[in-house]
Homo-oligomer: A and B are copies of this chain.
């Protein structure tokens, strides 16, 4: 910057001002400075600026896996919302491992992000402490924790599945199985399974049809293997609710390989409204948790928290929506539209 200042015949402070849009600098001077900077191949050093200004323009975010379209959508919503205001997302993934999350959070906090977004509401005690003491906005997503660390943008995975089961039971299904959600590491998966169990108990139905999916995230292939196990062990099952659309699609293919008609012989439902759900034959009955919306709302919330528009933590409830498909037929009941997409109420105070 000193070099640029010299070349432009001004002080480095003027260069600093010229390089930012906000400050008041004579237009000619600014032009000369920008020209000099370009000529010299000067590249601004954000590290030094961050140290001095105590603003890094970093927002940290952790997701369980980068190879998952749902979380990728959330990251997109988040990044797009924040990039517009000059923030850079510092992303890390935890491999669905809370210990790994702890390491990652600790490392990310060293970079002095101005806010941090984490996935899920369950963390190690140390992670919670680190986050709580970081002195920056914390947003937990994809869940509705009982004791939020700070803000939340999410939904209850258990409630979403429970509501789905309610619909299926009302439609006459009785012998319903749940595929996946057995791995403790995937807390959202276990929550969905819990919602299934709760719903079945509520309706007085047998909830013993539980099929393990393996290590998270359950791939299509594992979904197929689990479906094979189910068909061998409990062939009279009427409906399989899967922990995700990927597992559901794998399950669907297993039926196709065996020549079983879906949904006639056995119905299948998923979770996540992944692309595959809308294009497979048949399409998948699933639940849309609005992943992109989660990211967008988190970004919005963070911006508000940082500029003082929003004071104190907020709980933003996302309303997952059932998307009927061909893999598990439901009589249409509610004529619901996309509640969250544009209209849903913002930050209904606390839970």
Give me the interface of A with B, judged by CB distance under 8 Å: 41, 43-48, 50-51, 56, 66-67, 69, 72-73, 75-76, 79, 88-93, 106-107, 109-112, 129-130, 133-134, 219-221, 224, 246, 249-250, 253, 256-257, 275-276, 278-281
Contact = CB atoms under 8 A, between A and B. Distances in A.
Q: Which of A111, A224, A250 has the most chain B CB within a 10 Å cutoff? A: A111
10 contacts: A45-B51, A45-B110, A47-B47, A66-B75, A67-B72, A88-B90, A91-B91, A221-B278, A249-B279, A253-B280
A279 B221 CA distance: 6
Contacts of A224: 279
Contact of A72 (B43, B66, B73, B134): B66
B44 A110 contact: yes
Contacts of A106: 43
A72 B45 CA distance: 29
Contacts of A47: 47, 50-51, 56, 111-112
Given A88-B107, A110-B43, A276 B278 contact: no
A225 to B, nearest CB: 10
A48 B67 CA distance: 33
A66 B76 contact: yes
Contact of A281 (B89, B90, B253): B253
A275 B219 contact: yes
B220 A275 contact: yes
A290 B295 CA distance: 30
Nearest to A68: B72
A17 to B, nearest CB: 17
A133 B46 contact: no
A276 B276 contact: yes
Nearest to A132: B41
Contacts of A41: 129, 133
A121 to B, nearest CB: 22
Nearest to A41: B133
Given A41-B129, A221-B275, 18 more contacts: A41-B133, A43-B134, A45-B51, A45-B112, A46-B111, A47-B50, A47-B51, A47-B111, A47-B112, A66-B75, A66-B79, A67-B72, A88-B92, A219-B275, A220-B276, A250-B279, A253-B280, A276-B276
Nearest to A134: B43
Contact of A220 (B90, B92, B130, B279): B279
Contacts of A75: 66
B46 A112 contact: yes
Nearest to A44: B110
A18 B126 CA distance: 21
